[in-house]
Amino acid sequence: MSPEFATTWRQYELDDATKALLSYAEKLTKSPHLIADQDIQDLENADFDDNTIYEATALISYFNFSGRMEAASGLPFDQIPENAHYAESQK
């Protein structure tokens, strides 16, 4: 598959379940405010169960978050600036 697969996946011969998942991932990435019950129903119709839909949503959301964090910071995600400080847990 080409490196542009994320934007050209419709050009490939894919099974219905993969198409449904990629369509959902694309919508969740580009316009999450438009996700509706029908989107979940489409995944269920493609034989995804609630747990799988939840896991897919979590993974898609995480990669969107980390990609946006990297883009906004101008740094690779694994290179946190030296002066960035995070509160540590006090247990």
Residue 50: inside a domain: yes
Single-letter code of the amino acid located at 19: K
pLDDT digits (tens, 9 = 90+) for 34-91: 999 999 999 999 999 999 999 999 999 999 998 888 778 776 656 666 777 766 544 4
Of 60, 59, 81, nearest in space to 70 by CA:
81
Residue 32: inside a domain: yes
User: How many independent structural domains does the chain possess?
Assistant: 1
User: Which structural domain, as residue segments, surrounds residue 51?
Assistant: 15-65
Of 66, 68, 59, nearest in space to 24 by CA:
59
As a dihedral over the C-alpha atoms of residue 44, residue 36, residue 54, residue 73, rounded to 10 degrees, the angle is 140
Residue 27: inside a domain: yes
Residue 60: inside a domain: yes
Residue 25: inside a domain: yes
pLDDT for the residue numbered 75: 67
The DSSP code for 9 is: G
Residue 88: inside a domain: no
